[in-house]
Structure 1
Amino acid sequence: MSFETVYNVKLHCQSCVNSVKDALSGIPGVSKFDIDFENQRVSVEGSEAPSNIIKAIQNTGKDAIIRGTGKPNSAAVAILESFNPEDNLAPVKGLARIVATNDESLLVDITLDGLDQGTYYPSFRASGNISQGAESTGGSLFDFKPVTVASPLNDGTGLFSGQSFQSAPLKITDLIGRGFIVTKDNTLTKSSLAGVVARSAGVWENDKQVCSCSGKTIWQERTDAHNHGLQV
């Protein structure tokens, strides 16, 4: 199940290029990659989860932003937020990146951050109504295998992260506008994470450097995302 993903990476010199090259060369799920220094862009082909690619690049001291995944109309994303008032300062607790591998199946890269240690249960939901968080998203369309959140965050919070890369026998077109939730102990609460599945760019479909809505560069937007709890 190979697919292509394009990233923007801040590359200042040949040493930066070499560091990223070495990092990607050591990932078994990467079959091919190209580093475009002039356009600050890295394209990767293979079966590795995009979140693992980003982490590998971050370990070189660089950051990376996904600009597109898969073919046109074959990618989607759900930003996962807690609706617990205690999390208002940093409500974003995860991200589900979705890419179709063919007309009948897809891969989901689930990343969770800033949570208590434990076992979490992701699922696609019938409704994208998140007015009451996960509690208003209706019944389950597909239940994924549990995700273990057990990697300590190095930020002094005592919280943890987890990641899982799973497949589902579903079509991207059937999921747009529906909900994606993550619960702890398989119980719906205000602290359950919820997001709406939205289309995202395919490979080479998104080359903008400034957001037309905010006027900020993609890296300023990236900083804002970090501040709200989104790390990968």
Structure 2
Amino acid sequence: MTVPAFETIFAVPMTCQSCVKDIEGSLQQLSGINKVTANLQDQLVSIQGTAAPSAIVDAIQSTGRDAILRGSGRSNSAAVCILESHASHVENKVRGLVRMVEVAPSLTIVDLSIRGLSPGTYHATVRESGNISEGPESTGGIWEALTAKKESRPCRGIFGTVEVGKGGVGAVFLDRPIQIWEMIGRSIVVARQQDGKVGGDYVRVFDQD
């Protein structure tokens, strides 16, 4: 799928005009950057173009500053999901965040970061239900899994995988053909097994704003 030009907004700590120049200079070296606008007062950097958010973050971090995806400049275009551990056997306290920003009709950027899990490959899936009273078991099946199977097309509820390293930290940028409003009232499960059945380290989503 050809990605149209879109706007993403990042929160970046900046103290002076030199900070702005450093960031703009680093971003202009990326392909797919059409326009960079930095707001020193609000500590925000707006980027228009087709560059991947992961590349943008890397470019900003190369200047010694952090960058957090905040939105797309349009109302009702962003959602945030808080990840917390549910499995009693997970020794470390698991914490994570899924930021979703709709950058074009039916195209949403997913920024998932997590820490506290044991090393390995984990699957992130959107579930039919937002009921987390019993953890992953009460969230239902993977969203649209049956419909996608009948129509022989990719399942939109399968977000992708995230690799967790030895330090227990994992992060990934993905793009999915979804709209933010479709996520409201659902949940996200991050587990070793894609179906989220017993046998993995579970993470659940509490809120989608």
2:129 to 127, 130, 133: 127
- Considering only aligned residues, what root-mean-square deviation do their CA atoms show, in Å? 2.8
Q: In 2, Cα distance between the equivalents of 1:27 and 1:86?
A: 43
Amino acid across the alignment from 1:6 = I
What TM-score does the superposition give when structure 2 sets the normalisation length? Answer: 0.74
For 1:172-192, what per-residue CA distance to the aligned partner results, in whole angstroms no more than 9, with x for missing partners? 223212112222132434722
- Give the superposition deviation at 1:108: 3.4
SS of 2:8's partner is strand
- Give the superposition deviation at 1:87: 5.3
SS of 2:135's partner is strand
Q: In 2, Cα distance between the equivalents of 1:112 and 1:8?
A: 16
Counterparts in 2 of 1:12-161, with a 5 A limit? 12-85=15-88, 90-99=93-102, 101-102=104-105, 105-114=106-115, 115-141=117-143, 142-144=156-158, 146-149=160-163, 152=165, 158-161=167-170
Structure 2 residue ranges without an equivalent (≥5): 144-155
For 1:89-134, what per-residue CA distance to the aligned partner results, in whole angstroms no more than 9, with x for missing partners? 64313424241521xx132324233333333222211111122222
1:195 to 2:205 alignment: yes
Corresponding position of 1:206? none
Q: How many residues align?
A: 191
Q: In 2, Cα distance between the equivalents of 1:92 and 1:126?
A: 22
Amino acid across the alignment from 2:179 = K
Per the alignment, do residues 49 and 137 of structure 1 end up closer, same or farther by CA in structure 2, a change over 3 Å counting? Answer: farther
Q: In 2, Cα distance between the equivalents of 1:89 and 1:116?
A: 9
Amino acid across the alignment from 2:108 = L
Say whether the 8 Å CA contact 1:74–1:172 is kept in structure 2: yes
Structure 1 residue ranges without an equivalent (≥5): 200-232
Corresponding position of 1:173? 181
**Taking every aligned residue pair, what percent have the same amino acid on both sides?**
34
Runs of 4+ in 1 over 6 A off after TM superposition: none
SS of 1:44's partner is strand
Q: In 2, Cα distance between the equivalents of 1:48 and 1:88?
A: 38
Amino acid across the alignment from 1:173 = W
Say whether the 8 Å CA contact 2:71–2:101 is kept in structure 1: no
Per the alignment, do residues 93 and 36 of structure 1 end up closer, same or farther by CA in structure 2, a change over 3 Å counting? Answer: closer
What TM-score does the superposition give when structure 1 sets the normalisation length? Answer: 0.68
